[in-house]
Amino acid sequence: MQTALAGATPYLSVNNVEVIYDHVILVLKGVSLDVPEGKIVALLGANGAGKSTTLKSISTLLKGERGEVTKGSISFRGERVDQLTPNELVKKGMVQVMEGRHCFGHLTVEENLLTGAYTRNISRGDLKESLERVYHYFPRLKTRRTSQSGYTSGGEQQMTAIGRALMAKPTMILLDEPSMGLAPQIVEEIFEIVRDLNQREKVSFLLAEQNTMVALRYADFGYILENGRVVMEGDAKELAANEDVKEFYLGLSSGGRKSFRDVKHYRRRKRWLA
């Protein structure tokens, strides 16, 4: 499972992680993945595949949901991080943007952004600079800075959620389903900003997405999760061009939407016979 790295030390490394909810529900069945420094890695899969669970197992947010990592290990910058609190992780440079945006609706956009800096003990000047940095990447937020978040659009709320994460000056962002419920044009706008942050600020991303084809256009590498297991991984361009991935995710198969595994096995058999 080291293909993403070609021998380099991974920045984030998830090794054989198993997650159980409520003591009995086995959801992740040994997931391994790596994010090299400065890369965008996509974690793909259908509804319920375990993408959010994987991100929460990394950011240690599972505990609040009666979930537990029962096997495996997680390292960030060469150090085990499985026992840290989310705050300690933020201080080490890793922040998660939760699925569903989660802005404080009654606060203004700017107040929401400011909540992202709470783990940093910083001066007013530094705070202002951090805000300006967010507004530089999200000019839309600057024009909406005094609006109550609850009244801003879905796209603006997603931008606010990412902007708030940026206020903690992370070097790694776990981004859960940024495209959810947004119009295609806004999705592109958000992914362009993700790319910009990656290229200019060297922020690494682990990006969970159901929107496979968009995510693969922006990612360097991808993993496909199904039913709590990685069923395929590869270079993003190769995955996007892969017939099995296209067949499954673009619904090109004749017999309706099959399990990705079935498609893969079926194709394998076909190759065998040929």
Ligand X SMILES: Nc1ncnc2c1ncn2[C@@H]1O[C@H](COP(=O)(O)OP(=O)(O)OP(=O)(O)O)[C@@H](O)[C@H]1O
Residue numbers of the site for Mg ion (CB under 5 A)? Answer: 51-52, 99
Residue of minimal Cβ distance to Mg ion: 52
Q: How many residues bind ligand X (CB under 6 A)?
A: 18
Could you say whether residue 79 binds ligand X (CB under 6 A)?
no
Which one of 59-67, 129-137, 152-160, 262-270 is the stretch in contact with ligand X (CB under 6 A)?
A: 59-67
CB-based burial label for 113 (10 Å; 0-12, 13-18, 19+)? buried
| Cβ atoms < 10 Å from Cβ of 4 | 21
149 binds, among ligand X, Mg ion, none (CB under 5 to 8 A by kind): none
45, 163, 170, 234: which one binds ligand X (CB under 6 A): 45
Please report how close the Cβ of residue 145 comes to Mg ion at its closest, in angstroms: 29
2, 3, 48, 105: which one binds ligand X (CB under 6 A): 48
- Smaller CB separation from Mg ion, 99 or 111: 99
Q: Which of 197, 188, 241, 233 is nearest to 215 (CA)?
A: 188
- Smaller CB separation from ligand X, 113 or 232: 232
Decide: 228 and 31 in contact? Cβ < 8 Å.
yes
Cα angle: 134, vertex 179, 229; to 5 degrees: 115
List binders of ligand X among 163-182 (CB under 6 A): 177
Which one of 62-70, 82-90, 129-137, 195-203 is the stretch in contact with ligand X (CB under 6 A)?
A: 62-70
Tokens of 59: 């950011």
Q: Which of 261, 196, 230 is nearest to 4 (CA)?
A: 230
45 binds, among ligand X, Mg ion, none (CB under 5 to 8 A by kind): ligand X
Could you say whether residue 241 binds ligand X (CB under 6 A)?
no
Tokens of 249: 């995710």
Please report how close the Cβ of residue 100 comes to ligand X at its closest, in angstroms: 9
**Cα(193)–Cα(187) distance, integer angstroms:** 10
Q: What are phi and psi of 219, to 5 degrees?
A: -85, 160
List binders of ligand X among 96-125 (CB under 6 A): 99
Q: What is the DSSP letter of 195?
A: H
CA distances to 100, 147, 185, 194 from 182, rounded to whole Å, are 11, 20, 8, 16
- Smaller CB separation from ligand X, 45 or 222: 45
Could you say whether residue 51 binds ligand X (CB under 6 A)?
yes
5, 18, 20, 21: which one binds ligand X (CB under 6 A): 21
Q: Is the dihedral of CA 264, 245, 96, 196 positive or negative?
A: positive
Name the residues that contact ligand X, by CB under 6 A: 21-22, 25, 27, 45, 47-53, 65-67, 99, 177, 210
